[in-house]
Each structure stands twice: as C-alpha cells, then as structure tokens.
Amino acid sequence: MIRFENVHKRYPNSREALSGVSLNIEKGEMAFLTGPSGAGKSTLLKLIALIERPTRGTVVVNDRNTSRISRRGIPKFRQRIGIVFQDHKLLVDRSIFDNVALPLVIAGLSRREIERRVRASLDQVGLLERESHPPLALSSGEQQRVGIARAVAGRPDLVIADEPTGNLDPALSLEIMRLFTRFNDVGVTLLIATHDLDLLGHLDYRRIELVDGKVNYDSASE
Amino acid sequence: MLKRYFSLHLQNLVGSLGRLARQPFAAILTGLVIAVALALPAGLRVLVNNVDVLSESWESVADFTVYLEFSVSEQRALELSNEIEARNDVTQVQFITRDDALEEFRSASGFGEALDALDENPLPHTLVVRPVSEELINVEALADYLHGLPETQRVQLDTEWVARLRGILDLGERFVDIVTILLGLGVLVVIGNTIRLEINNRREEIVVMKLVGGSDGFIRRPFLYLGLWYGFLGALGAAMLIALTLLLLREPVATLASLYGSRFSLAGLSFSEFGILVGLGAILGWAGAGLAAARHLRSIEPS
Ligand SMILES: Nc1ncnc2c1ncn2[C@@H]1O[C@H](COP(=O)(O)OP(=O)(O)OP(=O)(O)O)[C@@H](O)[C@H]1O
Ligand SMILES: [Mg+2]
C-alpha cells in the first residue's frame, strides 16, 4: 500500500527532515509512526498525501509512483486517501453533516448516496444525532471524531492521521484509537503518527520509530 | 451525470447568494459601487438615445430659407410671403426685409464698419418658411415649389445645425463607448478585488477542500458564482438608478417640452438594452472572479 525507497526530504533553508527512509506497509495493515519531536513524522505523512514532494527517492502509494502524479492529478489521488489532522480542520461555518459530506460532494456522488454514507460514517463515530450542529458546538474529542468520519466517509483505501489524539486526554485518546482499530478490522490501511507512547502500550500494532529522519526501529522487522 | 452536474451548479448558485446575504453590508456596498459604475455608461447611452430621437424630430421641422432675387420688391416679397403661407403644407412664413437682414448681420457679425463701407446693401429679401408636416415627401414637394418660383434666387434648408448636432451626437456615442469600456474594466477590477478578498478570507476552507481532494474547478466554482451575483445584482441596481433618475426628470422635461409645444418625453432602457446591461454585468462578474481565482487560488496550498 505504501512503499518508501531511500526517501530524502530537505525543506528549503533547513537540514534534512528525512534521510534515507525505506519502509513498506501492506494493504490492510495498521501501523503507528512514533519518534521525538522533529524526527520527521509529519513530513513522512505529507509525502504520502503529496502535500510535499521528496527531494530524493521514491514514494509509492496504492501502486502509484507519486513522482508521476502531476499537480492536476493530485485531487483525484487525494480522494482515495482519508486524512485526519491534529487540529481537525473542520469548516466552522458548515454543519457536521456538510463537513462529512464534503469529500463525497467532491467525488460527485448522488444526494441519496451522500446522505446514506454520511449517516453511516457519523453512526460509526457515534455522532449521528449531532449532524445538524456546527463543529464549534462539539467538544474537541467529538470534533476529532467528525474529522475521522469525514476521512472515512469516502471509503478510502488508506487513512493517514497526524497526532489525532494530540489535544485529548488519555481516555478520549484511547477511544479514538479504538475507533481506528475498528476501521482496520474492516480492511482499511492506516498509518498514524503519534508521540503518545503510553497509549501504544494498550494497542498491539506495528510500530515504526523515526529518529532524526531515519527509521530507528520497526517492530515488523524484528 | 448531467443532472448531477447541474444540481451541483445550482447548489453553488444558491449557496453563493446565501454567502452574500450573510454579510449584507459589505455586499450592498460593493454592489452599489458596481451599480454606479454600470449606471454611468448605461445612463449616458440613454441620454444620447433621447437626444437622438429629439434631433430626428427637429430635422423634419427644419426651416427653409428662401433668398429672393435682388430685383424683387418689398411689396412683391410680402405678397409672396402671404401666398406661401396660404399653402396647407406651410405653418408660417417669416419675412425678413433686406434692411432688417443687414441690421441683424451688422449686430451679429461685428463687421459693421466693413458694411458701412459698401454703398449698397448686399443682402436680398429673405423668407423663412416653416413646413407643417413631419413627413419628408411633403417637405420635398414644398422644396420643389420654392425652387420653382421665378422670384427665388436660392433655397437653403436649415439643417446645418441639425447636422452639427448629429456630429456632436456621433462624438457623444464614441465617448460613451470609451466610457463603457473603461468603466467595464473598472467593474472587472472591483469584482476581481472583492473575490480576491473573499478568497483570502476563506484560505483555511480552501486548504481543507484541497486536502480532501477538491479540484481547482470545484474550489473555483463558488467564487465564480459569487462574481456572477455581484455583476448581475450590480446591473439590476444600475437599471434601478437609471429608472429613478428618469423618474425624477420626467416632470421638468414634460414642462420644458410643453413650452416648445412638444410632447417629447424621456425614454428609458428598452427591454433589449436592459437585457444587455444585466447580461454584461453578469459576464463581467464571472470574468472578474475568474481572473481573481486563476491568480490567487493556485497559491493557496496545504502545508
Ligand atoms: N515547512 C518546513 N520548512 C522548513 N523546515 C521544516 C518544515 N516542516 C518541517 N521542517 C523541519 O523538518 C524536521 C521534521 O519536521 P516534522 O514536522 O516532520 O517533525 P515531526 O516528527 O512531525 O515533529 P512533531 O512531533 O513536533 O510534530 C524538523 O526539523 C522541522 O524543523
Ligand atoms: Mg508533526
């Protein structure tokens, strides 16, 4: 599903954020990306979503070499990926329903299909009865669940999440992670960046640790 | 698929109108600027059209000036004046004797002293004939008759000032064309700038849309419709401003016209002119938004 081959990334006027990362995440796998601040976790996820481009090396996502995807091809490519952000990135002037519906509207689904899928998604994150509320009427944890509902509403092959529990207390964090594991149970591939090592103690999934832009540890290669 | 496409556009059309309604003060202000910018050339055009109509009616009531032979006596000239006035295609004949003509010329031209140097009055008796009909055929018949009189030296139809007015009108029309283009560009810039600000205000939203896979076209569309609404509503405002102005002018124009025995009244925008105004407004809005979107949307990328 995701393959990095000796990937380097250097931002302008900055030291290398990634230096020679190689890794492979299979379809249907769920993996956590850990490491200290500045290790390059966010950078790695941005390369997958084509928010950034590698300076060197190859990133293959869903059998597509991302270097062959032009600017114009990015929207279609991103429609196959669900992205969850630490700060939710919800549109505050639209209802919960409209937020979750956004990727489906973009994909051009019919109104009936959109309603069906949005409700199914909101039901999965337990917020069905809040669909007409604005995002700011919800708690931070609830807003994060809306973000997750939006990420999975389009039934993506892959979900990536950058610190999805960054602002949440341990109980809520665990709840969010359990949500992710449920999606993984139905076959969604997930890659989740987090620095919350305590949380990972509760979860028996693959762990990839980055340090200084390199893979320091990978539980799959033990 | 086509149905879905149209429903998406319809949604955008309604959605962007809703966006205008959410910040009515700013929207009305911008709309007013656009309305004034569109009302100016459209109003000038209405003015030129009206003067055009007026000048046409003047052209047909232009007077004939008949210069008589020098040999014609004042007595004969007066008789002739009465004869011509008796015709039923003539309203009125004004008889100007050579002496009167000279006096008038003297005071009007400032060549008084030069004229004093002449022993003899160089001007003939003159009849100014005002035809009754506004139909050209009759006017020509009258012209033929006046030409045919043995006492006639020369006949002149006093359309020179009408021709001059026409020249000025042509110039006016050209001027209005230029004003239209300039203010059209102005509207384009105003709307483009409004949309630029709107794009800036909605930076975060645009980033989110790009992150969930929104194409350039998808993200651009609501802004294009916003521009369309601005142009369309601005043009409606312009039409209203023009109608209001004409309403305010109606009374004084009617009074003035009645003083001249005319029933002239100001004409407003015709239906097709109204259509052109509104259509042009909408197109300018769409184009202005398109230019702003092309320039500014591309630079907003998630990071
Ligand atoms: N836009 C950028 N421009 C320049 N340097 C950047 C940029 N983004 C990240 N970096 C640098 O790249 C390195 C890796 O950053 P990255 O955000 O990927 O780390 P991270 O592992 O996500 O850290 P954190 O846990 O704090 O989120 C850091 O040294 C950072 O300063
Ligand atoms: Mg990070």
Count of domains forming chain B:
2
Judge: B205–A111 Cβ closer than 8 Å, yes or no. no
pLDDT confidence of A203, banded at 50, 70, 90?
confident
At residue B60, the pLDDT reads 57
Expressed as residue numbers, the domain containing B71 is 63-158
What is the overall mean pLDDT for chain A?
92
How many A from CA of A41 to the centre of ligand 1? 8
The last residue of one of the domains, among B131, B158, B185, is B158
At residue A222, the pLDDT reads 65
Say whether both B47 and B68 belong to one domain. no
| Gap between the Cα atoms of A104 and A140, Å rounded | 24
User: Is residue A85 in a domain?
Assistant: no
User: Is residue B301 in a domain?
Assistant: no
pLDDT at residue A202 above 90? no
User: Is residue B255 in a domain?
Assistant: yes
Q: Ligand 1, residue A15: give the atom nearest the CA.
A: 29
User: Is residue A196 in a domain?
Assistant: yes
Say whether both B6 and B135 belong to one domain. no
For B198-213, what is the mean pLDDT? Answer: 93
Hey, is B9 helix, strand or coil? helix
pLDDT at residue B279 above 90? yes
Q: Which residue has the higher pLDDT, B45 or B286?
A: B286
Give the residue among B63, B65, B64, B62 at the shortest CA–CA distance from B123.
B65
User: Is residue A7 in a domain?
Assistant: yes
Q: How many CB atoms lie within 10 A of CB A113?
A: 12
Tell me what percent of the residues of chain A surpass a pLDDT of 90: 77
B117: Cβ contacts below 8 Å, ≥ 6 apart: none
Say whether both A72 and A171 belong to one domain. yes
Q: What are phi and psi of A6, to 5 degrees?
A: 45, 55
Cβ atoms of B238 and B276 closer than 8 Å: no
Q: Mean pLDDT lowest for which of B18-32, B171-185, B268-282?
A: B18-32
Say whether both A166 and A211 belong to one domain. yes
Q: Which residues of A141-155 are buried (b: 16+ CB within 10 A; e: fewer)?
A: bbbbbbbbbbbbbbe
Say whether both A187 and A161 belong to one domain. yes
At residue A59, the pLDDT reads 97
Q: How far apart are the first and last CA of chain A?
A: 21
At residue B2, the pLDDT reads 62
Distance of CA B137 to the CA centre of its chain: 29
Give the residue among A32, A5, A2, A27 at the shortest CA–CA distance from A18.
A5
Say whether both A75 and A149 belong to one domain. no
Q: Mean pLDDT lowest for which of A44-58, B73-87, B249-263?
A: B249-263
Q: Which of residues 92-151 of A touch B (CB under 8 A)?
A: 102-103, 105-108, 110-111, 150
| Gap between the Cα atoms of A113 and A109, Å rounded | 6
Say whether both B169 and B150 belong to one domain. no
- This prediction's pTM: 0.78
Say whether both A166 and A76 belong to one domain. yes
Say whether both B54 and B86 belong to one domain. no
Q: Which of residues 159-218 of A touch B (CB under 8 A)?
A: none
Say whether both B28 and B127 belong to one domain. no
HSE-CB of B28 using CA atoms within 13 angstroms = 5
pLDDT confidence of B281, banded at 50, 70, 90?
very high
Say whether both B189 and B270 belong to one domain. yes
User: Is residue A199 in a domain?
Assistant: yes
Say whether both B50 and B22 belong to one domain. yes
Give the residue among A154, A54, A133, A61 at the shortest CA–CA distance from A90.
A133
| Gap between the Cα atoms of B202 and B280, Å rounded | 27
A191: Cβ contacts below 8 Å, ≥ 6 apart: A2, A25, A30, A31, A33, A45, A48, A158, A159, A160, A161
Say whether both B104 and B193 belong to one domain. no
Angle at A94 between CA A89 and CA A95, to 5 degrees: 100
Say whether both B169 and B256 belong to one domain. yes
Count of domains forming chain A:
2
Q: Which residues of A173-209 are buried (b: 16+ CB within 10 A; e: fewer)?
A: bbbbbebbeebbeeebbbbbbbbbeebbeeeebbbbb
Residue A211: both structure tokens together: 């340090």
DSSP letter for each residue of A149-213: HHHHHT--SEEEEESTTTTS-HHHHHHHHHHHHHHHHTT-EEEEE---HHHHTT---EEEEEETT
Q: Which residue has the higher pLDDT, A120 or A221?
A: A120
A191: left (phi over 0), alpha (psi -120 to 50) or beta: beta
The last residue of one of the domains, among B137, B158, B179, is B158
Q: Which of residues 36-75 of A touch B (CB under 8 A)?
A: 49, 51, 72, 75
User: Is residue B303 in a domain?
Assistant: no
For B208-223, what is the mean pLDDT? Answer: 93
Protein residue with least CA distance to atom 17, ligand 1: A42
pLDDT tens track for B69-93: 988 888 998 998 999 888 888 888 8
**What amino acid is encoded at B51 in this protein?**
V
pLDDT at residue B123 above 90? no
Expressed as residue numbers, the domain containing A148 is 91-155
How many A from CA of A41 to the centre of ligand 2? 6
**């293959």: which residue's tokens?**
A60
Which residues lie near ion ligand 2 (Cβ < 5 Å)?
Answer: A 42
pLDDT confidence of A219, banded at 50, 70, 90?
confident
At residue B99, the pLDDT reads 86
At residue B114, the pLDDT reads 75
User: Is residue A101 in a domain?
Assistant: yes
For A130-153, what is the mean pLDDT? Answer: 93
Judge: B208–A91 Cβ closer than 8 Å, yes or no. yes
For A21-34, what is the mean pLDDT? Answer: 95
Q: Which ligand is nearest to the CA of A19?
A: 1
Q: Ligand 1, residue A40: give the atom nearest the CA.
A: 18
Tell me what percent of the residues of chain B surpass a pLDDT of 70: 91
| Gap between the Cα atoms of B132 and B52, Å rounded | 21
At residue B224, the pLDDT reads 94
Say whether both B275 and B168 belong to one domain. yes
Say whether both A163 and A186 belong to one domain. yes
HSE-CB of B9 using CA atoms within 13 angstroms = 7
Mutate to test the pocket of ligand 1, among A4, A10, A14 (most ligand atoms within 8 A of CB): A14
User: Is residue A170 in a domain?
Assistant: yes
For B267-280, what is the mean pLDDT? Answer: 92
Tell me what percent of the residues of chain A surpass a pLDDT of 70: 100
Give the residue among B135, B146, B142, B131 at the shortest CA–CA distance from B67.
B146
Hey, is A24 helix, strand or coil? strand
pLDDT at residue B159 above 90? no
Judge: B212–A106 Cβ closer than 8 Å, yes or no. yes
Say whether both A72 and A175 belong to one domain. yes
Residue B200: both structure tokens together: 């800036």
The last residue of one of the domains, among B95, B125, B158, is B158
Q: Mean pLDDT lowest for which of B25-34, B206-215, B259-268?
A: B259-268
How far apart, in Å, are the Cα atoms of A45 and each of A42, A158, A160, B214, B216? 5, 12, 7, 19, 23
Q: Which ligand is nearest to the CA of A195?
A: 1
Say whether both B245 and B107 belong to one domain. no
Say whether both B102 and B224 belong to one domain. no
User: Is residue A86 in a domain?
Assistant: no
Angle at B87 between CA B82 and CA B92, to 5 degrees: 60
How many A from CA of A44 to the centre of ligand 1? 10
Say whether both A1 and A75 belong to one domain. yes
Say whether both A115 and A203 belong to one domain. no
pLDDT at residue A10 above 80? yes
pLDDT at residue B136 above 60? no
pLDDT tens track for A57-104: 999 999 999 999 999 999 999 999 999 998 889 999 899 999 999 999
What is the overall mean pLDDT for chain B?
85
Residue A77: both structure tokens together: 């490519």
pLDDT at residue A216 above 60? yes
Q: Which of A83, A107, A108 sits opposite B211 (nearest CB)?
A: A83
Hey, is A18 helix, strand or coil? strand
User: Is residue B219 in a domain?
Assistant: yes
Say whether both A73 and A134 belong to one domain. no
Say whether both A51 and A147 belong to one domain. no
CATH of the domain at A27: 3.40.50.300
CATH of the domain at B85: 3.30.70.3040
User: Is residue B97 in a domain?
Assistant: yes
How many A from CA of A28 to the centre of ligand 2? 24
pLDDT confidence of B100, banded at 50, 70, 90?
confident
| Residue B13 DSSP symbol | H
At residue B98, the pLDDT reads 87
Q: Mean pLDDT lowest for which of B133-142, B181-190, B248-257?
A: B133-142
Say whether both A150 and A170 belong to one domain. no
